[in-house]
Structure 1
Amino acid sequence: MILGVAEKSLARVLVPVIVLALAAGAGLAFFIAALVRPPELPVDTNPAPLAGHTLCAAVVVTFASDQDMRAAAGSFHDDPKARRVFVDPPSISLLAVPGTDLKAWAQELHVRLRTAERVTVLDSDATAAQLKLTAPPPKCPREGEY
């Protein structure tokens, strides 16, 4: 007795193979992206003294008095863009989480902090590029300080 073997159409075989290959490729892409993605930077928005830190990419908010500066320093505790908060009378220097547009954040802070006298962006890479220095400073690391 000879039993007939049912033949599967090419489409019924190819579709699962293609779906499996795509799923495996997507999984591999996510795995590789996780390996090459830089580690998350720590977030600590408790105000700390600026002394001993050399910032190269930050937003600096200057106030008329230490009292105004201290009153504003606590407002950055829940700011999702703030990664580190440094105080140096009468100013606050803010390091941002990676990916934050410093100029846009500075404009937002200028509107939000009415007691601030000045809000400036410190970006040594942009400044060096504008000045076309022959010996530019070292590239600012993503942490925002040397």
Structure 2
Amino acid sequence: MILEVTHKPLSRTVLPAAATALAAGAGLAFFVAALVRPPALPVDTNPAPLAGHTPCAAVVLVFPAGEDTWAAARSFRDDPKARRVFVDPPSVFLLAVPGTDLKAWARELHSRYRTAERVTVIDADAAAAQLKLTAPPPKCPREGEY
């Protein structure tokens, strides 16, 4: 008895297997990326006293009067770049969400808050690099405060 054997073209076998392997690899890559990604930082833009906090990466606005300070601090509740807002009259310290360019944000805030006497950026890492310290301060955590 002779049986006829049909041969499938190689492309009909290899292409589905390659596509399945590629999809599995992409799924594994997304899974690993989700495990490696640091957790999101909490956002609390309700103004709080600065006491007990040491910002190392922040934008600081200095106002001539306390009323201006609190009015500005409250205005950051809806700012998508603000993560934490601290007040130490006559100053407002703003910690940003990760990925925010502090210098660009400071320029934006300087044009938005004309009553501010000064708008500066605290960047401990950049300051340590410029000073070429032999024993640099501890690296600023991504939270923006020690």
Flag structure 1 segments of 5+ consecutive residues without an equivalent: none
2:41 maps to 1:45:
no
After TM superposition, list the pairs within 5 Å mapping 1:38-117 onto structure 2: 38-117=38-117
Percent identity between matched residues is 77
Cα distance, 1:73 vs structure 2:
1.1
Count of residue pairs the alignment pairs up: 146
Q: String of CA shifts for 1:43-95, please: whole Å, max 9, x gaps.
A: 00000000010111000001110011111111111111100000010110000
SS of the aligned residue for 1:116 comes to coil
Choose 118-127 or 10-19, whichever is displaced more: 10-19
Question: In structure 2, how many angstroms separate the alpha carbons of the residues matched to 1:68 and 1:120?
Answer: 17
The normalised TM-score by structure 2 is: 0.96
1:2 and 1:69 map into 2 onto residues whose CA distance is 94
2:121 paired residue number: 121
* Structure 2, unaligned runs of 5 or more: none
Q: In the aligned structure 2, how far is the partner of 1:75 from the partner of 1:18?
A: 54
Runs of 4+ more than 6 Å apart: none
Task: Determine the C-alpha separation between the residues in 2 that align with 1:30 and 1:23.
Answer: 11
Please give the TM-score of this superposition, normalised by the length of structure 1. Answer: 0.96
C-alpha RMSD of matched pairs (Å): 1.0
Match of 2:33 in 1: 33
In the TM superposition, what whole-angstrom CA distance separates every residue of 1:3-59 from its partner, at most 9, and x where no partner exists?
433221011111111111111111010111111111100000000000010111000
